[in-house]
Structure 1
C-alpha cells in the first residue's frame, strides 16, 4: 500500500510540474510607453549584495544568514511592488518589474519555509513546488509564479532568454543574477546570464560524445525552436557547439541553491 501511494504521489507530482505552455493573459498586455518613471528596486539589490555569493558555476543564497530585519525589508519591498500598476509603465520597465518580482517572491517562499532541501517540497500536498499557488495580488488580480512566467513574461516578450532571468532557487536553474533588473541593464544581464549558463556544465555538458543539456531546453522547447534553432541559440554563446550532433540527454538538479 505504501509503495502504491508513493508511486501515485510521484506520478501526480511530475504531472503537476509538467511545464506550462506560454498562454497570454490579455489583461497585462498593455503599457504606457510615454511613462519614463522607473521602479525602485534598491531594497532587492541590497539583499542580493548581502546574501548572494559565487561558488563555482553557481550563485548561492545564504538563506540561513538572512536577518529578521532583512526578511521584513524583503516583505516591504514586495508589498510596495504590489501597490504599483505595472500596466502604467513602459514595456522595458515592466520586464524588469516582473522578473524582480518573480525572483524576490521565490526567495521569500524559501525563507518562509527554511530549512528546506528543495523548492519542490513547497506547495500543496499533491503539488510539485509552489508555482501554482497564489502568492501576490497586483491590481486586484491574484497571481501565481506560473502566471508571471508563463502568462505574462513569456507570451508578451517572446524572448527565450527569460528562462535565464527567472530563478527557481535550484542548483540546476540559471543563476540568480547579482543585480536587480532595470531598464538600463536588462539587455546586458540577459546576455550575461545566457552566456554563463550555456558555458556551464549544468547548461550544456559535452563529454566523450555524450550531450547533456539542461531540462529547460526540453521543458520549453517551444521557446527555443527546433533542433537546428536550439543549436544556433547555444552556439551564439558558445561557438564550439555549432556542430553539435547526436542524441540530447536532459538533466536538472532541484537541490536548493543554498550557501550554508
Structure 2
C-alpha cells in the first residue's frame, strides 16, 4: 500500500498543478523589445487571407460564432500557413501602433485556429500542449525577428501591457464556447476601434458573459482571471460590464457572484 501511495504521488501533484493553473492567469508584464512603432509609416498590413478563412468557416449560431474546423480544406489550411508565414516574416515594429494592434490580435487568433486544425478532432483546446500542460499557451508557436513567441507572450507580454485596453479580452479567442467570439472580420488599423467595441457589446450582452439565477450572478471567469484589467474590485468590474451591456445595470449587485467558463471547442 505504501508503494502504491508513492507511485501515485507524482500524478496527484500533477493534477493539483493543473487545477491551480486552470484558475490562474499570467500577469501583464511588458516584453520591452516590442514596445516600438513607426508612426510615420502609413503602410497597411494585408489580412485578406485571414479574412477569406473567416468568411468561409465562421458561422453564427445564436450568440456564438462557431468555427467549422471539420470542413477546412487542404487548400485553406495552406492559405492559413501562408498567412502566418507572411505575418511572422515581417517586423511589426516597422508599422504604426494601430496596425500593430490588429497584427497581434489576428496573429493570436490565426495561430489558435492552426493549433486546433493540427490536432483535430479534439474536444477542447485544454487537451493540447505537453505533459503537465493545461492547453498550448506556453508552447512556442511562432518565430518573429528570431524570437520564439508563445500565445501567452502575445496576450500578456505584448497586447495587454502595451495597449492597456480591457477590450483585448473580447478580441483574442481561445477556441472555446466560453470565450468571447472569434470575430468574422479580420482586424485592421482602421476598423480596430469599431470591432473592439462590437466584440465587447456582443459578449457582455450574451449568456456567456453573465446569467442571473435566484440571488446569484454567474459571470464569465475572464473577469476573475483578469479582474485587474477591468477594475479594482467586483463593483468596478460590474461597472465596466455595464458600459457595453444593454438593459438593467449590474453595478450595486449585492447578491452572490459565481464565476464559470465553458472550455468546449467552439465548433458547430
What range is the shorter-chain TM-score in?
over 0.9
Q: Deviations over 1:97-133 (max 9, x none)?
A: 0000000000000000000000000000110000000
Secondary structure of the residue aligned to 2:251 is: helix
Q: Which secondary structure does the structure 1 equivalent of 2:149 belong to? A: strand
Structure 2 residue 236 is the aligned partner of structure 1 residue 229: yes
Query: What is the CA–CA distance in structure 2 between the aligned matches of 1:209 and 1:193, rounded to whole Å?
Result: 28
2:36 to 9, 30, 34: 30
Do structure 1's residue 189 and structure 2's residue 195 form an aligned pair? yes
User: For residues 204 and 187 of structure 1, what CA distance do their matches in structure 2 show?
Assistant: 24
Distance 1:77 1:90 in 2: 20
Contact 2:129 2:135 in 1 (8 A): yes
Among 239, 247, 254, the residue aligned to 1:245: 254
Deviations 1:58-89 (A, max 9, x none): 11000000001100000010000011100111
Specify every segment of 5 or more residues in structure 2 that has no aligned partner in the other structure, as ranges: none
Where structure 1 has 5 or more consecutive residues not aligned to the other structure, the ranges are none
**SS in structure 2 opposite 1:146?**
helix
Q: Compute the displacement of 1:160 (Å).
A: 0.6
Instruction: Indicate the larger mover: 62-71 or 182-191.
Output: 182-191
What is the aligned partner in structure 1 of residue 126 from structure 2? 120
Among residues 191, 208, 213, which one is paired with 1:207 in the alignment?
A: 213
1:217 aligns with 2:223: yes
Q: SS state of the match for residue 249, structure 1?
A: strand
1:258 aligns with 2:267: yes
The offset of 1:247, in angstroms, is 2.3
Range with greater deviation from structure 2 (102-111 or 230-239)? 230-239
Displacement of 1:56:
1.3
Per the TM alignment, residue 221 of structure 1 is displaced from its structure 2 partner at its CA by 0.9
CA distance in 1 between counterparts of 2:239 and 2:20 reads 30
Distance (whole Å) between structure 1 residues aligned to residue 55 and residue 36 of structure 2: 33
- How many aligned residue pairs are there? 259
Residue 178 (1) aligns with residue 181 (2): no
Q: Secondary structure at the match of 1:205?
A: strand
**TM-score, with structure 1 as normaliser:** 0.96
Q: Rg larger in 1 or in 2?
A: 2
The equivalent of 1:7 in structure 2 is 12
Structure 1: how far apart are the matches of 2:73 and 2:94? 34
Give the TM-score taking structure 2 as reference length.
0.93
| Matched residue SS, 2:141 | strand
Summarize deviations over 1:110-158 as a string: whole Å, max 9, x none.
0000000000000001100000000000111110000000000000000
